[in-house]
Each structure stands twice: as C-alpha cells, then as structure tokens.
Amino acid sequence: MPWTKDRLESVVRERLDGLKVVVVANREPYVHTYDGDAIRCLRPASGLTTALDPVMRVCGGTWVAHGSGNADQAVVDERDRVAVPPECPSYTLRRVWLTKAEEQGYYYGFANEALWPLCHIAYTRPKFDRADWVQYVEVNRKFADAVLDEVGDEPALVFIQDYHFAMLPRMLKNARDDLVVAQFWHIPWPNRETFRVCPWQDEILDGLLGNDLLAFHIQYHCNNFLNTVDRSLESKVDMEHFSVTRGGRTTLVRPHPISIAPELVAAALPADVAPEAMRFRRRLRLGSVPLLIGVDRVDYTKGIPERFAAVDRLLTLYPELRGTFTFVQVGAPSRVHIPAYRHLNEDIARQVDEINWRHGQLTWRPIVLLNEHFDAGQVALLYRIAAGCVVSSLHDGMNLVAKEFIAARDDCLGTLVLSPFTGAARELTDAILVNPYAVDEFAEALRLALTMPPEEQERRMRRMRAQIADNNIYRWAGMLLSEAGKLAGARQPVGEPV
C-alpha cells in the first residue's frame, strides 16, 4: 500500500495514541517579514522545513523554532504562537527569540562553524570556540524551556531536528523522564577519528544519548555514531541491535532516509510549462539551448566550484560544445556572516567570470549564476525544463534537490548527475554517479547528461520516479513516528505499519 497523507494520518492516530507531537527545529517553516508597512509570509530555502511541513500539516501539534523574521514578533499571540500555514492553519508555530549574541554563538558559531564542518569532512576546518559552545548550551536550554512549556503535564513525543540541538535531548529527559524523545540528525556523522577533535565530544554524545531514538539517513552514519560512542563514553554499545545503554537508559540508533512529498513538487509546476519556460529563457537571454542546472544554498559542502571546474574542463576538451548549452546555477545565499561562506561566494563569482570570459561567445555565456532565492514555483519550472540537474556535493546527508528534480519530471525526461557522497546516491542508482573531485570524469558525466538518448533517459527516470513515489516523506515520518510510538508503549507489532 503506498504511503500517502491519509495513511500517515491514521498511523499518527493509531500509533501515537493521543501523544502530543512537538517538533523542534532551528529553522521555522514560515517567516514573517515587513514589506513596507505590509507583512509577508515567506518559506525559507531549507530542505528540512520543506520536508517537515507536510508532515506537521498531517500530525498537527506544535513546531518550536527560532523566530528569525523581522515581523515575526508582530504576528504571534502572548505565548509567542502563530497558527500555520497561513492559508489553512493546521498546526502551531511557537517562536523562540534569540539575542544577536545567542544567534552568533549558537547558530553561526558552534552549530555552523564547528559541528557543520566537523560532520561533513569537506576540508573546511572546524572552529571550536568556548564562548560559542557556552551560547550553544544556553540556547539548547532556552529551547528546552519552550518545549516543556508547550507540553505542560501532558504525555508527548518530542521530535528534535538536527545538529543545532545535541544537548536538548538530555535536558528534556532530566526534566521529564516520561517524555518520548526522538531526534533526526540531518547531516552525516563522521568516523570517530574525525569526531574526537571536538573538545566537547563527551558532552555532545551524552546529550544525544538522552534520546530514546536517534536516527540518521543511512546505516553508515549510524555505525559511525555507535563506534564513536563505543570508543569514547562509558556505555554498552550493542552492534547487533544498534543501541546504546548508558546509566540504565537505552537509545536506539536507526537509519531513516528522508524524502519529499513528490505531489507537492508537481503541484508547484505551472499549468502550462511552455509559455513560462519561454518567459524565463527570455529574461535570462538563454536562447533555446539545452540547460544544465544546479539548485543549492551556497555552501562549501555542495561542490559548486567543482561543478564549474567540470564545465570549464568540458569546454576545453570539447570546444565544439561552446554555444550549445548553458549551465544555470541558482545559489540561494546562506550563512553569509561566516567568513568561509563569504569567501565561497566571492570565489564562485570570480570563477564564473573567468570561465565565461574564457569560453563565452558574443551573447552566449556558459554559466549563468543567479545569486538569489527562487520560490517553489520557479524552482519546479527550472527542474522541469532542464536537460540535466547536477548535484555534486562533496558530502551530504541526503540531498533533497536530487529527489525534487525527479518529482518535477512528469515528462519522464532529463538526466540527474549525482555525487556518490550524498545519501541520495544510495537510492537513486539510475543517476549518472560521478565523483565531484575527479574533474575529467565529471566533465564526461556532463557530456553524457547532455547527450543521453531520450529512451535511456526515460528508462532511468521512470525507475527513479517509482523509487521516490514509494519512499516519500510520508513513509519517512510514518516509520519514524511509529518506531517512537512503540517506545511510548503503544502496543504495536514490529514491522511496517499498515
């Protein structure tokens, strides 16, 4: 039976047995900002929020997040809550306010300058700063207070997202041992040798072992986590059942590959693609050449310079390809207060300029860089009209752009060039898999993406579409929440819920 919204809804009803669901994520699913005197509600460029919003629409409950929009305070009630989505409210968003110093130390500092590079191993050195660490712990405490206020005395399942909250599970358990606490770590977990350079590794591991269930995208990251604990903390690690027992409490460690709601991507497509495509091409002076595309936050883990180097190599090896295609890169600005991200933006702009100068002709530019935020409709259109989509992460927990691209291809055409260092590569084996560090192979993969016969494209695309139709976000949430529900004592047999 396929996983749908309705099936998830019945799983939540039956398996969670009345438990209140509280999701905690740093990023909020809806941001309110001023536009002159008017207030606009935007959706951030985040795979996490895009994936979880449809789940929360089904589950109801509360999403606790950092209120980051400049009009966020203007729309909340006296308990800092607002009902979302604005067009058909179905769950509550509880906003937590952070001072500038807290945001700097917790989000930019410890989460994104220490844990992010540490876990991704993309050759950007992690920065460990005690003041950042202190803010990180304090902000975790602030979120714990908000969660405890939301749950009151009720039984609840707290579902924590990501590396911003390594200390939160233990804090919650210390306050309310009866809460079911589960966490999904959206980024990779490195091997123990890599992780042990973190000065607060024991505190982080102990914090995470406050969870009843800790999930990663793939088994490999679960194994890395278990090995890290085994060789660092006093605990009993069970490699057969994938669990850790410490201080008499057990944490299950499980793989749950995240996904998307394919029908929502398809729904974002324009009713009539051709005229919209024409308008888009005209605006950017793209002519009618085939497009290769990239859609990313500008992040050093995404392998953006590597993909441009491959375009450069392709045009050097095959000068006859000049003028025959264009690479359109949408690069949503991200974490720009961090020096490594600022430098990356500058490096990319310089690189594009050099490549366009080297190979460009009259009005044709090999690379069009759009350093801006595209909304869901614009991204879906781009996916739908591309000859190929390039996902070249140097390391990525999953990568949902790869899955969204497939969801948008209701014509069953287009090629996906995919890094084997993404979680998605484990599932999307019909993509053109290529190591982004290997520039010659990468250039050949781009050539293949541009020249693959339509029948072959269709064969691969059909299989990949079937893959994401089966393994969608409702399945991810249904499996994960049922597993958590079982821990809460819901009396269900083991196995896939019906």
CA 475, 480, 484, 487 torsion: positive or negative? Answer: positive
3-state secondary structure of 222: helix
3-state secondary structure of 251: strand
The secondary structure of 231-248 as a DSSP string is TTSSSEEETTTTEEEETT
Beta strand 20-24 pairing with 156-161: parallel
Closest-by-Cβ residue to ligand F6P is 48
Candidates 162, 206, 427, 483; binder of ligand F6P (CB under 6 A) is: 162
Token pair for 182? 């589960």
Considering the complex, what minimum distance in angstroms separates the CB of residue 260 from ligand F6P? 12
- Closer Cβ to ligand F6P, 297 or 475, answer by number: 297
Residues 457, 386: Cα–Cα separation, whole Å:
13
Considering the complex, what minimum distance in angstroms separates the CB of residue 46 from ligand F6P? 3
Considering the complex, what minimum distance in angstroms separates the CB of residue 375 from ligand F6P? 16
- Closer Cβ to ligand F6P, 255 or 290, answer by number: 255
Q: Of 426, 341, 435, which Cα lies nearest the Cα of 394?
A: 435
Considering the complex, what minimum distance in angstroms separates the CB of residue 496 from ligand F6P? 25
Candidates 8, 21, 24, 27; binder of ligand F6P (CB under 6 A) is: 27
- Closer Cβ to ligand F6P, 48 or 182, answer by number: 48
- Rg of the chain on CA atoms, in Å: 23
Considering the complex, what minimum distance in angstroms separates the CB of residue 107 from ligand F6P? 7
Q: Of 393, 411, 414, which Cα lies nearest the Cα of 292?
A: 414
Considering the complex, what minimum distance in angstroms separates the CB of residue 397 from ligand F6P? 6
If one asks whether residue 403 binds ligand F6P (CB under 6 A), the answer comes out as no
Q: Of 456, 470, 356, which Cα lies nearest the Cα of 416?
A: 456
- Closer Cβ to ligand F6P, 378 or 415, answer by number: 378
Considering the complex, what minimum distance in angstroms separates the CB of residue 351 from ligand F6P? 23
If one asks whether residue 302 binds ligand F6P (CB under 6 A), the answer comes out as no
- What binding mask, one character per residue, do residues 202-241 give for ligand F6P by CB under 6 A, x or -? ----------------------------------------
- Closer Cβ to ligand F6P, 45 or 253, answer by number: 45
- Helices 304-317 & 339-359, crossing angle to 10 degrees? 10
For residues 293 and 325, the answer to whether their CB atoms sit within 8 Å is no
Considering the complex, what minimum distance in angstroms separates the CB of residue 94 from ligand F6P? 17
| Alpha-carbon distance values, 100 to 126, 150, 477 (Å) | 22, 24, 33
Residues 3, 431: Cα–Cα separation, whole Å:
24
- Closer Cβ to ligand F6P, 103 or 162, answer by number: 162
Size of site (CB under 6 A) for ligand F6P = 10
If one asks whether residue 365 binds ligand F6P (CB under 6 A), the answer comes out as no
Candidates 52, 96, 139, 187; binder of ligand F6P (CB under 6 A) is: 187
Map the footprint of ligand F6P across residues 244-263, applying CB under 6 A: none
Considering the complex, what minimum distance in angstroms separates the CB of residue 476 from ligand F6P? 13
Residue 173 parent element (H or E): helix 168-175
If one asks whether residue 334 binds ligand F6P (CB under 6 A), the answer comes out as yes
Token pair for 48? 């996490």
Residues 219, 189: Cα–Cα separation, whole Å:
10
- Closer Cβ to ligand F6P, 206 or 299, answer by number: 299
Considering the complex, what minimum distance in angstroms separates the CB of residue 258 from ligand F6P? 9
Extract the runs of DSSP E, i.e. beta strands, from 111-260. Answer: 156-161, 180-184, 213-216, 236-238, 243-246, 249-255
Considering the complex, what minimum distance in angstroms separates the CB of residue 251 from ligand F6P? 21
| Alpha-carbon distance values, 415 to 99, 296, 331, 427 (Å) | 45, 17, 20, 15
Map the footprint of ligand F6P across residues 39-68, applying CB under 6 A: 46-48
If one asks whether residue 186 binds ligand F6P (CB under 6 A), the answer comes out as yes
- Closer Cβ to ligand F6P, 46 or 124, answer by number: 46
- Closer Cβ to ligand F6P, 126 or 360, answer by number: 126
- Closer Cβ to ligand F6P, 48 or 391, answer by number: 48
For residues 285 and 391, the answer to whether their CB atoms sit within 8 Å is no
H helix intervals, 209-298: 219-230, 262-267, 273-283
Cis bond upstream, residue 85 (ω within 30): yes
Beta strand 91-96 pairing with 156-161: unpaired
- Closer Cβ to ligand F6P, 48 or 56, answer by number: 48
Residues that bind ligand F6P (CB under 6 A): 27, 46-48, 162, 186-187, 334-335, 397
